[in-house]
Amino acid sequence: MKREVKKIVTKEDLVKCFKILGIQSGMCILAHVAMSKFGYIAGGAHTFNEALLEAIGYNGTLVMPLQMSDNSEPAYFEKPAIKINEYELYRNSYPDFDERLSETRGMSKVSDNLRRYERSYVSSHPNCAFVAYGKYAKIITQDQDLDFGLGENSPLAKLYDLRSYTLLCGVGYDNMTALHLSEHRSQSRPVILNGARYKGAWRKYLDFDLDSNDGAFEAIGKRLEDKGLVKSYTFNNGTFKLIRNDIAIDEGVNYFKSL
């Protein structure tokens, strides 16, 4: 049976959603997007980004995680796992980190599209980089530490200080990257030795064994909703959620410390 698009979603439709949700000019937004939940968007990822940029205006900043997780220690890989005798070959064969060319994994087309914007900035972490566009883009993406790359010297800490927002577009709280800073500040995860191909060599670095899939992030999200701290708006088959990052991160620290 021939598939038929019953209604096209336009940039104007998306801008209207964002404004109903409470997004205003000048906001700094960390966005996570599953476009398919909202219907057939004419222009796809480019249209989605243009709608977000229109909603936050000239003085706003749009940020997205890139998550180049394949550029990491192969001993930790599970899907698929790599045989022990192949570890060294993997480390030696992986391409050097490139802020414009390195492959992302499990990310939406929207973040890769934002990376193609001429005036976008990309942070320098080979595994957990961020792309940003707008007023504070350069500041947010500068000086991300290799060790503990989502900790105090990371874009997440700067987003906390800027009182930015997370925008979840059709995804759950397990996608809320900002809550990794809660894991760091609560020191609730074990420390591991990771690695990545970076600046011409395989470089080892320290990190926490971060985990967004153990139910903790969803539990923190429920706490935020119960306290009335999440704004939401449903459009077609997806829901937009808007949360202040500093409030969410503090709530996350309290949650992890209570375990």
Give the angle 161-176-120 at the CA atoms, nearest 5°.
65
Domain edges within the chain: 8-258
What DSSP assignment string belongs to 110-131?
HHHHHHTSTT-EE---SSS-EE
As a whole number, mean pLDDT of residues 98-119 equals 92
How confident is the model at residue 107, as a pLDDT?
Answer: 83
Strand-by-strand arrangement of the 28-33 sheet: 121-122, 130-134, 61-65, 28-33, 165-169, 238-244, 230-235
Strands 201-208 and 40-41: unpaired
pTM summary value: 0.96
**Residue pair 241/231 in contact by the 8 Å Cβ criterion:** yes
In whole angstroms, give the CA distance from residue 26 to residue 133.
12
pLDDT value at 75 more than 70: yes
> How high is the pLDDT of residue 6?
82
Task: Identify whether the C-beta of residue 182 lies closer than 8 Å to the C-beta of residue 201.
Answer: no
pLDDT band at 216 (very low <50, low <70, confident <90, very high): very high
* Cβ density class 206-245: b for 16+ within 10 Å, e for less: ebbebebeeebbeebbebbeeeeebbebebeebbbbbbbb
More confident residue, 3 or 9: 9
Which DSSP string do the residues of 198-249 spell out, in sequence order? ETTEEEEEEEE---SSSSHHHHHHHHHHHTT-EEEEEETTEEEEEEEHHHHH
Crossing angle, helix 11-21 and helix 44-56, to 10 degrees?
A: 40
Is the confidence at residue 1, as pLDDT, over 70? no
**pLDDT 10s digits, 44-70:** 999 999 999 999 999 999 999 998 999
Q: How confident is the model at residue 211 (pLDDT cuts 50, 70, 90)?
A: confident
